[in-house]
Structure 1
Amino acid sequence: MTSADLVLPPTDQQTPTAALLQAPEAQTMEHAIGDMHLLLEQHGYVIAVYPSSIQPAHERRLFGIRSVLESDRIALVKVDLPPLGVAVLVRQLRQLSLSDFSPGVVASAARLLSHYIYAGALLHSVAKLDRVAVSLKSHAKSWVPGSQFAVLAGPESQLIKVGPAAEPLTGPEFGTHLLVAKGQSQSDWVQETLAPAWKVQAIHDATLPGESSRWWGTGKLVEFAAYLPDISVLYQLVSSVRREKCHWCEMELIGDRCGFCSSPLASAENRSYSTGVLHQEVNASAAS
């Protein structure tokens, strides 16, 4: 992981922590290479997950380390989710790392699982929001005192102006837990309005990641992420996808792209995942 505040506490005693791959200003290249070499010696493979909002110099550092070590056992997984969503995904991958999945499957599972994380924020202004499409009308409304906006960044983008007559954000159709991290906003809209609308099974508090204010364009926010909490469901979801062998690096993978070398499968080889696992989860939640 590229930031310590993106490493969420484990949900059980088995989930391992994550190693921190520090930014160039915090560590020399020599020490960074040494740390990566030690991780490879200890664990065999390294899956480095980092947000797309990372500083360019930090991303170049990761590729530089892999190039110097000339290792095909380092996966660099770039994730296009807001900070709290990235933190949730990293914890899920940490949980799956204890399963019988190969490193290639765990690395490529990041793209699959990111589609089941509903990541967004309640914002008091969208004037500086540039990572989610915002209309000119919404920009104008953000200058009105007291305005609040609910924004969903993934799996699909959506924006609404919060108010009594507002339609709720489109949420997950399966059982989730909701992680909530407050910034400078004291609004309870996420807990009192969004959570019931999404029928979440539990709400958990988290510390707002340091990158969140820059990502969302304001420090006056409440960031949230709804996610699948059950490791057995995550395991079944990943297991339901056909496994392939990368034609380039020969790592095992799921989906349409290798998690280690990023080589795509030929279009005729692409496989879609089964939704049966999530349908079972929805039915189970409804029955309970």
Structure 2
Amino acid sequence: MPTAIAVTSADLALPAQDERTMPAVVLAGIDRRPLDQALTELNALVEQYGYVVVVCSQAAPEPVVRRLYTLRSLLESDRIALFRPALPPLGIAVLARQLRQLASCDLSPGVLASAGRLLTHYLHAGAVLGSVARLDRVPVGLKAHARSWVPGSQFAVLAHPEPQLVRAGPGVTLKGPEFSTWLLVAKGQLQSDWAGGLGGQWGVHGVREVPLPAESPAWWGTGRMVEFCGYLADLSVLYQLVTSVRQTSCHWCGLDVIGDRCVFCSATPPAPEPPRALEQRTPA
């Protein structure tokens, strides 16, 4: 049975990319249901799938995050991974879908879960904002703050992989990926076509549009925005990226992983032992 990939709201469960993409498990309202009911549901998921990876935004409401950690603690289970990368909500949704694509392949649960860390490096996530006055996820200079108060100002911001901020306008662009991607666009309350035009500057395969995640305004500090994300869509490319990385066994739980941390038990490799001092020999 494939590892379950879960998200905390339905708007983070993007439509399937291909016929092999596994459906997302949506933990909507998990903080509002009685604790025993939520505990029973999550335990049933673990029993059904064996392992569950919950991909959660750092902008998720605090009660949702507390409930997830409480449930994992009560179940005393290392088969539930809570993954909260520093990505905007649309990037979280894209990453969750990529893991859903890979869940149909012959990857072990530990490798699939830790693949999330690897795949974040290939996401280019940003937004066009009507104001950066409340933006605290990307460094904002004093001039940009001042321009936020000028009517009609728009700013193009790339939050990941390298922070960038420019004033949006004709001929202005952001440094994009050095490989071919698709571009996903989610429109908020800002009237702007700048993000769609970014696809031509980045040379993407195509531009697709989805609804704006509910957590995006909180992450970006404004609802006057258009969020975008450049991503790899081809399953064979994603699979090759993951399987080309050396796998190791977690010294704590024994799962095969890639990278330096097990997403399920959070263990890191033990520090190497210092070399023993050479024994001094006393001459006869």
Q: Is the 8 A contact 1:22 1:32 kept in 2?
A: no
Match of 1:248 among 243, 248, 252: 252
Is the aligned partner of 1:153 residue 2:147?
no
Instruction: Give the superposition deviation at 1:236.
Output: 0.2
1:217 partner amino acid: G
Alpha-carbon separation, structure 1, partners of 2:157 and 2:250: 37
Written as runs of structure 1 = structure 2, the 5 A alignment for 1:175-190 is 175-190=180-195
1:91-112 deviations in whole A, cap 9, x for unaligned?
A: 0000101111100001101111
Query: Partner of 1:92 in structure 2?
Result: 98
1:248 aligned counterpart, secondary structure: coil
Match of 2:230 among 220, 226, 230: 226
Which residue type is aligned with residue 183 of structure 1? G
Which blocks of at least 5 consecutive residues in structure 2 are unaligned?
Answer: 1-6, 273-284
Instruction: Provide, for residues 74-103 of structure 1, a one-character-per-residue CA deviation record: whole Å limited to 9, x for no partner.
Output: 111112100100000000000101111100
Contact 1:24 1:57 in 2 (8 A): no
Q: Name 1:214's counterpart in structure 2.
A: 218
Q: Could you give the per-residue CA deviations for residues 118-148 of structure 1, whole angstroms, max 9, x where no partner exists?
A: 0000011111111111111110011111111
Which residues of structure 1 form unaligned runs of 5+? Answer: 269-288
SS of 1:79's partner is coil
8 Å CA contact 2:31–2:63 kept in 1: the answer is no
Cα root mean square deviation, aligned: 1.4
Matched, 1:40 2:40: no
Match of 2:144 in 1: 138
**Cα distance change, pair 259–175 in 1 and its aligned pair in 2 (3 A):** same
**Counterparts of residues 12-161 of structure 1 (less than 5 Å):** 12-23=18-29, 25-161=31-167
Runs of 4+ displaced beyond 4 Å? none
Q: CA separation in 2, counterparts of 1:267 and 1:49?
A: 29
225-234 or 45-54: which moved more? Answer: 45-54
User: Post-superposition shift, 1:57?
Assistant: 2.3
- Greater Rg by CA: 2
Equivalent-residue separation in structure 2 for 1:177 and 1:267 (angstroms): 40
1:236-278 deviation per Cα after TM superposition (whole angstroms, max 9, x unaligned): 000110001111111111011111111122477xxxxxxxxxx
Task: Name the one with the larger helix percent.
Answer: 1
* 3-state DSSP of counterpart to 1:51: coil
Query: TM-score under structure 1 normalisation?
Result: 0.89
Answer yes or no: is the 8 Å Cα contact 1:151–1:158 preserved in 2.
Answer: yes
- Structure 1 match to 2:175: 170
Cα displacement (A) at 1:70:
1.5
What is the aligned length? 266
